[in-house]
Amino acid sequence: MISSIQHGRQLDDITIDSKDRETNSTSTTNFRITVEQPSMPAKWLQLVKIVLPMTFDTIDSNNNTFDIGALGTITIPTGHYELGSLILELNSLTTGYTWTWENNSRIKVVKDDLATFTLDPGNATILLGFDPSSTYTGANNYTADFFPDMGENKDYLTLHSSVLRRHMEVSVKHTDDRTNMITFIKNDVPHGSVMTWEPEKKIFFNLNSSHINLMDFYILDKAGNYIDIGNQTVAIVFNAFL
């Protein structure tokens, strides 16, 4: 068991910042990085925390279209939205309709002249909070059935490293067989914030008194897609032990 393993005396703290990544890295969340030599070879690394700006696109090509009345198909520009900015965008795109966020609970759309209309939430169904099994026609307003989901597929993330995965003290697996996973990251902060995540259980990597010069990391959402945080950076903190 993990609790029975002696990890020795703490040697160094190592902070890995994706801004210092190698030039052949794909992005700030899919990167390779050279690790500075610790004061002496380490036996163990312990993952301490991850600092991750939650600035990924909340609206992309997978959730940004719907059909409304005579206006036909509406496409919401991709980007990072919070609920307030989404409501403003919806109102700017659909002249003749008014969108509101009712009681901070459900999104509602009303036709300004109170004529009946049909709403097909399209691939924005989950984003807007509508029910994919329902039909929205014959009324002059519709209130979504559920709370809008601005973090579709982002309610948890997974951290991966092909280098560290080989040194893990325990096996970590996901039911969709995603490779090189080293930990699960719970996303429970509002979008637009910076998340500081610390593992509930200690995560150790056995280096066998050696030094790893180059590490790789990437972060996926729950659907297994790489997340994009633009020009922001990820910081990953380790403790090294003799």
Q: What is the pLDDT of residues 94-118, one digit of tens each?
A: 999 999 997 778 999 999 999 999 9
Highest average pLDDT, of 87-91, 100-104, 223-227, 238-242, comes from 87-91
Task: Give the model's confidence band at 203: pLDDT under 50 very low, under 70 low, under 90 confident, else very high.
Answer: very high
CB 38, CB 12: distance < 8 Å: yes
| Residue among 234, 236, 237 at smallest CA distance from 28 | 234
Long-range contacts of 107-111, Cβ-Cβ distance < 8 Å, separation of 24 or more: 107/143, 107/144, 107/148, 108/141, 108/142, 108/143, 108/144, 109/68, 109/141, 109/142, 110/140, 110/141, 111/69, 111/140, 111/141
Q: Domains, the chain, ranges and CATH?
A: 2-56+154-241 (2.60.120.1100), 65-143 (no CATH)
| pLDDT at residue 92 in the model | 98
Least confident stretch, 49-53, 197-201, 209-213? 209-213
